[in-house]
Amino acid sequence: MALGESIVAVGLGARGLPITPSLVLTAVLALLLSAAIWWTYFDRDDRRAEHQFAAATAADRARMALLGFGYAHFVMIAGIILIAAGLEVGIAHPLGHAEAIGLWNLAAGLALYLVGDTLYRRVLRIGPGRLRLAIAALIFLTVPLGLAFGALAQVAACVLLLQPLWIVDRKGGGGPPR
């Protein structure tokens, strides 16, 4: 869903614009951001969640289903929608003056997604979320960067801020054994 929404948002935002190196770079970084978001969930968390869900009692499974696969996913989906809205507005202004609403949507959406992902991980007991919450807070620092230099700078900063999640998860610091 994250990749699909972002591809559509990038296409809609770039519609009618001349193809420039900064537009292409912003589009590529937007897709890298979507891939990084996808990675935070589908790299190992889905398998960890399945394992925890299967090992839980019936009452715990019901709680996990409602809170983890219900409410936490609603938060993540809301974040993805805001990210897509931010990318659609931001892609039109890769350099220079970007609309503040797009920059704020991107930051708020990414932070909301990470909070939802943390709730999901906590409910299903598949790993700590402190790093995700720290990155969610730091994401808001990308807004002034975007206001000063354009969406390209903000999107690049967001991609960089997500990299520690990939590194920690690759080293196996994401939760219970697989």
List the single range of 16-25, 49-58, 61-70 with lowest mean pLDDT: 16-25
Band (pLDDT 50/70/90 cuts) for residue 156 is very high
Summarize pLDDT for 71-99 with one digit per residue, the tens. Answer: 999 999 999 999 988 988 888 888 878 88
List pLDDT tens digits, range 20-43.
Answer: 888 888 888 988 998 888 888 777
Q: Select, from the ranges 7-16, 90-99, 158-167, the one with the highest average predicted confidence (pLDDT).
A: 158-167
The pLDDT confidence band at residue 6, using thresholds 50, 70 and 90, is low
Give the Cα separation of 159 and 1 in Å (integer).
18
Per-residue pLDDT at 2: 55
pLDDT (0 to 100) of residue 173 = 53
Rounded to an integer, what distance in angstroms lies between the CA atom of residue 106 and that of residue 55? 37
Percent of the chain with pLDDT over 90: 46
Mean pLDDT value across residues 114-135 = 92
User: Which pTM was predicted?
Assistant: 0.87
pLDDT (0 to 100) of residue 1: 59
